Amino acid sequence: MNLTLATSADPDLRTIDRPAARRACADLLRALGADPDAPGLTDTPRRMAEAYAEMLTPLPFEPTTFPNADGYDELVVAGSIPFHSLCEHHLLPFHGVAHVGYLPGNRIIGLSKLGRVVELFARDLQVQERLTQQIADWLDEHLAPRGVGVVLEAEHLCMSLRGVQKIGARTVTSALHGLVREDSRTRQEFLDLATRRIG
Ligand code: ZN
């Protein structure tokens, strides 16, 4: 497919065996005391398998970067990028927004691509901390920027639906690299831009 994606910061290619997933989903329904042949459930194993397959398959994209010809040296931040992922402990969704920014070095990338990078790693069995780090590492590797900041705010259904937390409670994780971590003014500017509420 896209050979430029094959770097150490990129996810492993996943193989999804849909027939096996459908059989397993039917088995799970049975194990949960449901009859997969009951009216209303006959197509459920297929739907479940397709839903998981979709949530675990990132859309390929061309991570085109450009020379920073104008020498832009201010923070570039894409805030409140919606994302969803699957918690690897429960296979239940967690979803929220990502704030992604970098301080350009010699390369820049289109703003819309920052959302695609989030999705590249979100469509996987994940924990929020690793997802946050992987997005930051990808930007480090592909842009060699002077700094990177990633903040994720997400609601985990495995927590909010199971009584540990209230519905709507959000978990916040961050990965700050380079000058976004080391320079207090840059760090504060990133966090202000990233967490600025819209509306
Ligand atoms: Zn979980």
User: Minimal CA–CA distance to 62: which of 131, 124, 130, 120?
Assistant: 120
Distance 92 CA to ligand 1 centre (A): 6
Q: What spacing in Å lies between the alpha carbon of 47 and ligand 1's midpoint?
A: 21
pLDDT at residue 9 greater than cutoff 70: no
The CATH number of 2-55 is 1.10.286.10
157 Cα to the center of ligand 1, angstroms: 7
117 Cα: distance to centroid of ligand 1 (angstroms): 22
Cα of 100 from ligand 1 centre, angstroms: 24
- The H or E element spanning position 176 is strand 171-178
pLDDT for position 1: 37
Residues less than 5 Å from ion ligand 1, measured at CB = 87, 89-90, 158
Integer CA distances (angstroms), 113 to 10, 50, 108, in order: 15, 26, 10
Instruction: Give residue 28's pLDDT band: very low, low, confident or very high (50, 70, 90).
Output: very high
Nearest to 124 by CA among 81, 97, 88: 88
Annotated catalytic sites, by residue? 87-90, 128, 156, 158
Q: What are phi and psi of 76, to 5 degrees?
A: -110, 120
Which residue in this structure is represented by tokens 């296979």?
A: 91
Q: Mind listing the pLDDT tens digit for each residue in 43-62?
A: 999 999 999 999 999 888 88
Token duo for residue 175: 């990965």
Report pLDDT digits (tens) over 110-167: 988 999 999 999 999 999 999 999 999 999 999 999 999 999 999 999 988 887 667 7
pLDDT over 90 percentage in the chain:
78
Task: Kindly give the distance from the C-alpha atom of residue 159 to the centroid of ligand 1, in angstroms, as a whole number.
Answer: 7
User: Does position 101 have pLDDT exceeding 70, yes or no?
Assistant: yes
In our burial notation (b when 16+ CB lie closer than 10 A, e otherwise), range 96-130 reads: bbbbbbbbbeeebbeeebbbbbbbbbbbbebebee
Query: Could you give the angle at the alpha carbon of 134 between the alpha carbons of 131 and 136, nearest 5°?
Result: 110
Domain ranges of the chain: 2-55, 65-195
How many other C-beta atoms lie within 10 A of the C-beta of residue 131?
23
CATH number for region 65-195: 3.30.1130.10
Q: What is the pTM of this model?
A: 0.90
